[in-house]
Amino acid sequence: MKFFVDTADTDEIRDLAATGLIDGVTTNPSLVAKTGRDFTEVVKEICAMVDGPVSAEVTALETDAMVEEGRKLAKIADNVAIKVPLTWDGLKACRTLTQGGTMVNVTLCFSANQALLAAKAGATFISPFIGRLDDIGEDGIEVIRDIRAIYDNYDALSTEILAASIRSEDHVKRSALAGADVATVPPQVLRDLTKHALTDKGLAAFMADWEKTGQTIL
Task: Name the nearest CA neighbour of 130 among 98, 158, 108, 105.
Answer: 108
Listed in sequence order, the residues at least 6 apart from 69 whose beta carbon sits closer than 8 Å to its beta carbon are 58, 59, 60
The whole-angstrom separation of Cα 73 and Cα 81 is 9
State yes or no: is 92 an active-site residue.
no
Catalytic residue among 2, 83, 173, 201: 83
CA triple 173-105-14, angle to 5 deg = 65
Angle, helix 88-99 to helix 112-120, in steps of 10 degrees: 30
User: CA-CA distance, 204 to 164, in Å (whole number)?
Assistant: 35
Catalogue the active-site residues: 83
